[in-house]
Amino acid sequence: MKRDFPHLCKPLTLGKVVLRNRMASAPMGATDILADGTPGPRTLGFYEARAKGGAASVTVSELVVHPETDGSQMLHLSLATPGQLGAFAYVADAIKRHGAVASIELSHSGQYAGTYMVDKDKKGSLCQWGPSDGVRPDGMPVRALSSDQLADIVTAYAEAATLAKRAGFQMCMVHAGHGWLLNQFLSPYFNKRTDEYGGSLENRMRLLRDVLLAVREAVGSGFPIELRMSGSEFFEGGYDVEEGCRIAQHAQDLVDLIHVSAGSYQFGFSITHPSMFRAHGVNVHLAARIKQCVDVPVATIGGLSDPAQMEEIIASGKADMVAMARALLADPEIPNKVMANRGNDVVKCVRCFVCMAERPITQTRRCAVNPLIGREMEGLEITPVVRPRKVLVAGGGIAGMKAAHTAALRGHEVVLCEATDQLGGILNTEAALPFKRDMYELARTYAHLCNEVGVEVRTNTRVDAALCDRLAPDALIVAVGSEELTLPMPVSDDAWVISIDELYLENTDPGSDVVIIGGGLTGCECALLMAQQGRTSHVIEMGPELAPDANIRNRPILLAELEAAEVDVLTDARAEEVTASGVRVRLKDGSERMVGSAGASVVSAIGRRSRNAVVDALRDSAPFVRVIGDALRPANICLAMYEAHHAALDI
């Protein structure tokens, strides 16, 4: 068989372990963690899905090695907790039985303990331990670890590695990046010690080397140790990639693989986890530089999901392995698809941060484009039906396509009707925003997937009661989407008003001065786009803050982009009138002002509403009728995909 991606498909030997390909499942926080730090059953399913999807290795994250000085709400492993070792053994077994190598990340958060705790009050009561006395950027006091405490922590790493190996894990990862404890000792910004652990690079490396030596002694030869490090910290006072090279050189004799990430917690979240505003593979250059300086294999990570890009990384020698986290949430089957020459079937991550935003809110995992994430134990397989039905899907947006695809996989006869000439619905607007191109591509992927499973697609076909009478479907899924709200304030006849759909779908030129009414997520993204195009951009928001509908991970990144782009923002402001001379606005204190210049265009971004009349006309058109997505209520892609998938499963 000729491989489309031969370098990605090539095995890699580490110690006595053979990895079946060059695609690794990077550490991702567990789904359910019990109060004592034991992995719950959903965690087993979560990691197993990536092993079943073909990843070479699956790394369980994060095993806190020393709870006495790290109060993080993560995994613990101790013989003192009944059943805990067994729970880890079941997780390791679930990974191995699908041919993947079971790995586990050994970690200590240091002064960032409690980062992912849902109970923020408890987080505030923790004692934060680090290399040096000080105060965190968020005001939390930090106490320096003593030499005795450091010795205990080194021992704890070894004990955790011993138990992990006993539980059946075949590899371990020592986390020394992202601002966690070992990285804090490596960093000249955090480490101000004057003893043998501070000052020179050799001294700052001492704790890491002590840990690696202890872990190696605990697990023995041939058991691969992976070092996860930040290739550069990317902030003033931290180390750069050249010092990252020196760190890697000083550690390479004790490890089998160096996993090069980037950034540091609180100083670079969107660097460590590249956002939609950054290029795919933006951090690969770090791994490429470090690979030039070491003799052990190097792995890279950071917004990677495209098989062609990953193939080029390995083929050109930038890295020996690629690791994926969010990409394998969006599509756990990426490695299997790559191995089977099905690269076009990959559902790529849209980098929306739903997955990372959900953890601190509800302690669960969710993915905007994969409704099975966090629910793996409810079943990954789509079971074919005994009696196929005729299914009609009204609306070819992402919800409609997802429903049609799932229904067809179950064996139903599926007809998908779209009123316009193109599938994709509201995601078609994202083609106009370079930073949301992944959303647009998601629609193209699902159009392809629907074709692959035999969905009959009819464009320029509006579903009404008459069509339903002719087709006589057994089931009707209504996914007709939503429509834009019209501006509720007076608009003069000579005012220049443009809707979001006109701006994006019809490529309307809005001129050099643009006023956006509505500071939600849509309005903010529009304002950013206008500024990036060199236009003067204004946002008017009646509430006290921008983008309240954005998730807690994406929102601060978006706001930072708006600030950097110098977008003119007005909150607590109500648009009273739209004229040819600009928008008259009433401020919170009762005063008025004009926003925009004479001749400025005004973009309406005040929201959307369901197409209720269309929905109501279809409610009696089949024995089974389900309304999903924006047709039910304008919400988000995560909810739409979930509703679509389960509507199809219910038929």
Residue 5 lies in a domain: no
pLDDT of 156 reads 98
Domain boundary among 606, 621, 641: 606
- Reference 559, options 263, 302, 282, 550; nearest CA is 550
Residues 530 and 462 in one domain: no
Question: Which amino acid is residue 512, in one-letter code?
Answer: S
Low-confidence ranges of the chain (pLDDT < 70): 73, 115-127
pTM comes to 0.95
pLDDT of 120 reads 55
Q: How many domains does the chain have?
A: 3
503-525 tens-digit pLDDT: 999 999 999 999 999 999 999 99
Q: Which two tokens stand for residue 504?
A: 């994006």
Residues 286 and 421 in one domain: no
Residue 563 burial (CB count, 10 A): 10
Residues 362 and 403 in one domain: no
370 phi and psi angles, rounded to 5 deg: -130, 100
pLDDT of 379 reads 85
Within 8 A by CB and 6+ apart from 574, the residues are 542, 585, 586
Residue 503 lies in a domain: yes
Helix axes 206-219, 241-251, angle to 10 degrees: 40
Contact 627, 615 (CB under 8 A): yes
- Reference 649, options 411, 374, 364; nearest CA is 411
Residue 385 lies in a domain: no
Residue 211 lies in a domain: yes
Q: Which two tokens stand for residue 150?
A: 């450091």
Residue 384 lies in a domain: no
Residues 590 and 626 in one domain: no
- Cα 507 to Cα 510: distance, rounded to the nearest angstrom: 9
What SS3 state is found at 357?
helix
pLDDT of 364 reads 85
Residue 335 lies in a domain: yes
Residues 528 and 616 in one domain: no
CATH number of residue 256's parent domain:
3.20.20.70
- Cα 629 to Cα 632: distance, rounded to the nearest angstrom: 6
Residue 589 burial (CB count, 10 A): 6
- Cα 549 to Cα 20: distance, rounded to the nearest angstrom: 42
CATH number of residue 577's parent domain:
3.50.50.60
Residues 553 and 474 in one domain: no
Domain boundary among 331, 349, 378: 378
- Reference 597, options 482, 511, 474; nearest CA is 511
Domain boundary among 343, 378, 413: 378
DSSP 169-221: --EEEEEE-BTSHHHHHH-TTT----STTSSSHHHHTHHHHHHHHHHHHHH-T
Residue 128 lies in a domain: yes
Residues 334 and 439 in one domain: no
Within 8 A by CB and 6+ apart from 517, the residues are 487, 523, 540, 575, 578, 583, 602, 603, 604, 605, 606
Domain hosting residue 164, numbered range:
12-378
Residues 537 and 600 in one domain: yes
Residues 201 and 318 in one domain: yes
What SS3 state is found at 489?
coil
pLDDT of 268 reads 84
Residues 43 and 172 in one domain: yes
Residues 336 and 219 in one domain: yes
Burial class (CB in 10 A: 0-12, 13-18, 19+), 501: middle
Residue 6 lies in a domain: no
Residues 242 and 128 in one domain: yes
20-48 tens-digit pLDDT: 999 999 999 878 899 899 999 999 999 99
CATH number of residue 394's parent domain:
3.40.50.720
- Cα 536 to Cα 539: distance, rounded to the nearest angstrom: 10
